[in-house]
Chains A and B, each alone.
Chain A
């Protein structure tokens, strides 16, 4: 029977059916659910690694040791794992190795919109791109076959709409996969110059062989409808094109993104009056066609930014207008994401804003500390940059500036790549204050465990990395734990630590309000009593449950969870927890 599955779930299913036995990843929207779904299969070893580089290295090691292995990441995670990946291209594999990378066209939950297809060409690694969940399963299985046949890692490129759309998938039995023998083979696996020079020759030969494969594989398919217009497309864009254009055009659907076929494209294109390339983000396929001398229409009519829609494609290719619709006819307020009611970060940012500090921010729910009314975050670059960028700021502007500067970084993000920045501060005589927002979980991606939570991905108890002893062992002498909801004390701690002429760490400790124990703890709601003097201090928290109705502050009991933070900032004790 066919089952409705997320693209991510189908990739996990494909991995299971292919006999994968080791999976290591770091969470990142929209890729997270691949690894979470692997947990369903008891006979696969699965883990959350501290970052994508570590995860990829675990998968590479497992492959060399003879297992079929996998690592999954979002597009920016691929930047982090790039180092081992480029060299794994040289070593090739023993057991099949598949790296799943999910791009985020439209930036639903990301800091940039990079097109990961460039990495395939740069690292000379085969890349496949499925268009729906059934293909996610099929292509994953095909990827393992190809990985072993051509001795190469394989990328599977996903996107938000493929990863996070559910469509029908047929489940098949698991293949019996026996670990490949492990033989010591330094010429293949020790990449020092003498060996790597020889392996580079192998890589170039492999690309030639893969190009031939790309000409004949069923993963690249032609669909003829007798049209004068041809469309070359791949991934989710193919589905949009298919819906928009139906049988009014002919298609070359590319499942292999790198290396792209040459003869197949030329043979297809010469049959048509006009050929369109429909691909989101960068003109990767288009430039390939143009380099072959094939005249195609691409980014002249399609945008380089965001997600496509069938309507957009219909208009560009057929000149047909969008369906008629009712216009709103007035400006209405947007509804941007906000920190949840009860979010521990709210207390932290309330204090940082009150003290007027420069805040070097990071990637996580707490990036929302940049939005009104808290608006305290100054910068967000990438995972870990809060710590190292603040060090750079302090070195650029000196000691007085540094006393008004803090870094904020989540527990999981600190494990990911904050530690090295902190080492840099200690080693290079920095005096920065780093606030680790320890909410006991990886929040933004939907509650994944990490080295500081004390549990594995399978919820088995494990050794918990102790943030205090970790920071002290690096050489940070002042490590202070403070509850960000105790705003008076938290403010005092921040003042003391930013004044300190030494590196310091504040661990802002309070669990995420959405964790089950906190849901139990925050069971009631808050109420404003008649002691209220309408000073609106509580409005400064930017709590979604607190609104101004006329000149009166009201708490919406359907949204309030009774966390009590507002009771701590009210100067007149006019808010009570019920």
Chain B
């Protein structure tokens, strides 16, 4: 299983990939998670890969190979579209964050991304930002999206909850579980 998580540096994609990796271990798989640190984290496009199965060699996912793309921002979803396997599924947050070329006016933010994606691939678009606000903080977007991902995967819900409890700091467990439920029950 190849899952690609894409977003903008600072959105918490790393935590999402760690939760997912933790779930895959609990299910008894061989797992590899490839992360992004350093300069590329600073508000740029960030991509993490989570791969699991009987045996995983390469930690990276190439174009046409992702079973699921979990996108934290809609332009990043569009950028990641070529990575989706034929017949794969994309779960995308509809939030729009302007990249610097758009801010400086050098380029325009592409129009109708959701529509373009839906025409070509199996897309589930969600306003995860509003759900995170409902949970209590916009920072919980990542766990809302993990909830959505959990719903479309064949893993018992309790395993996800247990992994979230182990992964996030103790004082944020309740908030994150609320965010997870909001995503899961959508």
Contacts and interface: CB of A to CB of B under 8 A. Distances in A.
A291 interface: no
Interface in A1-51: 2, 4, 6, 29-30, 32-33
Nearest to B98: A547
Contact of A243 (B58, B83, B84, B105): B58
Contacts of A330: 110
Contacts of B120: 326
B86 A167 contact: no
A336 interface: yes
A6 B58 contact: no
A322 B100 contact: no
A325 B104 contact: no
A410 B9 CA distance: 22
Contacts of B30: 167-168
Contacts of A372: 100-101, 104, 106
Contacts of B39: 29, 108-109, 337, 365, 367-368, 444
A330 to B, nearest CB: 7
Contacts of A465: none
A323 B33 contact: no
B22 A4 contact: yes
B65 A323 contact: yes
B84 A558 contact: no
Contacts of A445: 38
A328 interface: yes
Interface string A413-455: 0000000000000000000000000000000111000000000
B124 interface: no
A510 B41 CA distance: 21
A546 B43 CA distance: 14
Contacts of A6: 35
A2 B104 CA distance: 48
Given A165-B34, A556-B98, A311 B62 contact: yes
A469 interface: no
Given A326-B81, A335-B45, A167 B36 contact: no
A556 B97 contact: yes
Interface stretch (B72-80, B144-152, B153-161, B168-176): B72-80
A397 to B, nearest CB: 31
Contacts of A61: none
A539 B102 CA distance: 11
A319 interface: no
A490 B79 CA distance: 40
A325 B83 contact: yes
B136 interface: no
Contacts of B45: 334-335
A108 B82 contact: no
B31 A167 contact: yes
Interface in A346-375: 365, 367-368, 371-373
Contacts of B57: 239-240, 242-243, 310
Contact of B121 (A168, A240, A326, A558): A326
Contacts of A542: 100, 103-104
B1 interface: no
B125 interface: no
A539 B106 CA distance: 13
B54 to A, nearest CB: 13
B59 A327 contact: no
Nearest to A330: B110
A524 to B, nearest CB: 14
Interface residues of B, number: 61
A338 B42 CA distance: 6
Nearest to A245: B57
Contacts of A323: 62-65, 85-86
A548 B103 contact: yes
A231 to B, nearest CB: 13
Contacts of A217: none
Interface in A517-547: 539, 542, 544, 546-547
A469 B3 CA distance: 53
B8 interface: yes
B20 to A, nearest CB: 11
B64 A337 contact: no
B15 interface: no
Contacts of B42: 337-340, 365, 368, 444
Most chain A beta-carbon contacts within 10 A, residue among B43, B44, B101, B108: B43
Given A168-B31, A309-B62, A325-B82, A333 B37 contact: no
Contacts of B97: 544, 556, 558-559
B99 A336 contact: yes
Interface in B16-48: 18, 21-22, 25, 30-45
B101 A333 contact: yes
A161 interface: yes
Contact of B58 (A310, A331, A336): A310
B98 A167 contact: no
Given A309-B62, A368-B42, A164 B37 contact: yes
A577 interface: no
Nearest to A336: B44
A192 interface: no
B74 to A, nearest CB: 11
A104 to B, nearest CB: 8
A205 to B, nearest CB: 38
Contacts of B36: 108, 164
B63 A29 contact: no
B40 A337 contact: yes
B14 to A, nearest CB: 10
A330 B79 CA distance: 10
B184 to A, nearest CB: 23
Given A4-B22, A337-B9, A337-B41, A547 B34 contact: no
A33 B44 CA distance: 21
B103 A328 contact: no
A122 interface: no
Interface string B54-70: 00111110111100000
Contacts of B76: 335
Contacts of A559: 97
Nearest to A372: B104
B129 interface: yes
B119 to A, nearest CB: 10
Contacts of A30: 37-38
B110 A371 contact: no
A396 interface: no
Nearest to A242: B57
25 contacts: A4-B33, A108-B40, A109-B37, A161-B59, A164-B37, A166-B18, A166-B31, A166-B34, A167-B31, A167-B33, A168-B31, A309-B62, A322-B62, A323-B85, A324-B64, A325-B63, A333-B108, A334-B101, A335-B45, A337-B43, A365-B39, A367-B39, A373-B100, A547-B98, A558-B95
Given A165-B35, A166-B34, 4 more contacts: A108-B37, A323-B64, A365-B39, A371-B100
